[in-house]
Amino acid sequence: MLTDFKTLQVTDEGPILRVELNRPETGNSVDGQMLSELLQVLRALEDDSTVRVMVLSGAGDHFCQGGDRAEFPTLLERDPSGSELRSLADKAQRVCSTLSQLRLVTIARLHGDVIGAGLGLAVFCDLRVGADTCRFRMPEVGLGVPPAWGGVLPRLAEEAGQAWVRRLLLTAEPFDAARAEQLSILHEVVPAADLDAAVARWAKPIIRRDPTTVRITKSMLNARAGATQLAVASHFDDELLTAAVARRALHRR
């Protein structure tokens, strides 16, 4: 597994691969470079039968404070047609889709802020454990853009329930770890000092499971989720996001 990354810290522990978002100076905000590196890791995992569990975490004080909004105007200025923005949105969708379809089990280890794109990455993981001090928010509507990043809306509604997701999106209100557990966004809440122990407690039995059984079980769960997702044309998400961001950029001039 390659480990020479600028925005990720990847640690190979045999059956466990730890992938840490590593832009702590930006709150681990997700930019194009990070998406490219995540996609590289995930594609390598598709062909690696030795890794049984991937743990996704964040360096510094927060798991992830969302997408890197400073990148959007730069991309538009460089390419007013919006094709670079569309490429960025498409890459986010490919990351999330690949993450959800991996044959191995993925665990999100969450602490601090889990906002926007950060929440998107988390909900595409199979299991999610969070510190009791976690703070969550989906701020897109308040920022004037649709909740289109990574095709997260159907997944979030499937995991947390459509009624609650409607409230959280339209109000952009923050919520804490206890509420996240109530909504099944978190499977477990623990003190921050116990996060690694919780991950180890989940990973240990998973590593012993028959990999074919795990893969088939995940495929069955994904098929069930796909059949009940909202009727959202998620393959148009990149167009929606690009149009909204471009419109906001024009209004600011």
Judge whether 2 lies within some domain. Answer: no
Q: How many domains does the chain have?
A: 1
Q: Kindly report, residue by residue over 194-232, the tens digit of the pLDDT.
A: 999 999 999 999 999 999 999 999 989 887 665 444 444
Domain region containing 201: 8-252
20-48 pLDDT, tens digit per residue, is 999 999 999 999 999 999 999 999 999 89
Average pLDDT over residues 137-161: 88
The enclosing domain of 139 has a CATH number of 3.90.226.10
**What is the pTM assigned to this prediction?**
0.89
For 89-112, what is each residue's pLDDT tens digit? Answer: 899 999 999 999 999 999 999 999
Please name the residue that has the structure tokens 């969302």.
66
Q: Is residue 111 part of a domain?
A: yes
- 3 assigned to some structural domain: no
Q: Assess if residue 139 is contained within a domain.
A: yes
Question: How far apart (Å, rounded) are the C-alpha atoms in residues 239 and 47?
Answer: 31
1 in any annotated domain: no
The answer to whether residue 30 sits within a structural domain is yes
pLDDT more than 70, % of the chain: 86
Q: Is residue 230 part of a domain?
A: yes
From residue 45, alpha-carbon distances to 88, 163, 187, 196, 206 in Å are: 22, 35, 24, 22, 16
